[in-house]
Amino acid sequence: MKPDYIGTEMVFNFLIVLLRLSMIMALLPVFGSKSFPALFKIGLIVSVSAALTPIVRVSYTPGGIAMAFMREMVLSFVLALTVRFIFYAIDTAGQVISTATGLAMANVFNPELGQTTEIARIYGIIAVLVFLAVDAHHYFIYAFIKSFEHIPFGEADMKGMVRAAILLSGRIFTIALQIAAPFITVVMVVNVLLGMISKLIPQFNIFFVGYPVYLTMGFLLLMLLIPVLIFLITGYFTGIQKDLDGIILAGTTG
């Protein structure tokens, strides 16, 4: 009995899968993090590519290599932005909350997003845990396999992908506003009440009392709204499968 050898076609398919997967994984906010060791990321990408090569249907139309690589980069970038925009929105909400409650002075360095606030960092950690807990990374494996069925290598519709990315970018402000809305509302009410007290009692030092009130209300709301935050983030991540399907259809030519 003759031994089975890996054919040239299988090696070529593996390289195409490896190229597209490496671009997507490098841009994902969790697996592409700078805090992950480089050897770990390389091993993960190679092993997942080897496991998916016999499963996906790889098709390739000969043409310009440079244009094909550019189309693959746009496709991978937009697919990764689907979840990265959610993390950007959560970080923006944390920064808005920190500014409103007076906690913006405590800054830390986030390897994902750079300089950020403590509240944004806490929200980011919760987002990562929820992302893994709801198996949202499995949606990307599903979308990755499906992308080869609808978008052959180097044939993504760049206009459709860019249009889909622009539409997704608007979600940053919507999600950030939904998360930060309770804090903004409470701070506005506290400002109105402090203003009324200042008018009724002119000797009342509003600047001396106001800052501790903002901090107290901020920490109280943080503790009370953690379950609501987890519920909202879970809904955002479970809904990305529909967004990924829409992006794949947008990138389909013809």
Residue 22 included in any domain: yes
pLDDT of residue 60: 63
User: Is 238 strand, coil or helix?
Assistant: helix
- Rounded to whole angstroms, the Cα distance separating 155 from 251 reads 8
pLDDT digit string, tens, across residues 13-46: 788 888 888 878 877 777 777 777 778 888 888 8
Residues 81-107, mean pLDDT to the nearest whole number: 81
Residue 2 covered by a domain: no
Tokens representing residue 113 in the block:
């997003």
Of 33-37, 53-57, 157-161, 222-226, which one has max mean pLDDT? 222-226
Instruction: Tell me the average pLDDT across 65-69.
Output: 73
* Domain of residue 103, residue span: 8-250
CA 218/CA 229 separation, integer angstroms? 14
Q: Is residue 129 part of a domain?
A: yes
- DSSP reduced 3-state for 117: strand
Give the Cα separation of 230 and 206 in Å (integer): 35
For 108-160, write each residue's pLDDT tens digit.
555 555 566 788 888 888 988 898 888 888 887 788 778 877 777 777 777 87
Q: Would residue 106 count as lying in a domain?
A: yes
Q: Is residue 186 part of a domain?
A: yes
Give which of 157, 151, 95, 147 is closest to 124, Cα–Cα.
95
3 located within any domain: no
Any domain includes 25: yes
CB 104 within 8 A of CB 98: yes
- Position 3 scores a pLDDT of 44
In the block, tokens 């987890």 appear at 230
Number of domains in the chain: 1
In a domain, 1, yes or no: no
Q: What is the mean pLDDT of the chain?
A: 79
Which parts of 159-252 are beta strand (E)? Answer: none
What are residue 153's DSSP bridge partners? 60
pLDDT score at 1: 39
pLDDT for residue 31: 73
- b/e per residue 25-64 (b: at least 16 CB within 10 A): bebbbbbbeeeeeeeebeeebeebbeebbeebebeeeeee
Give Cβ neighbours of residue 175 (< 8 Å, ≥ 6 apart): 86, 89, 90, 93, 232, 236
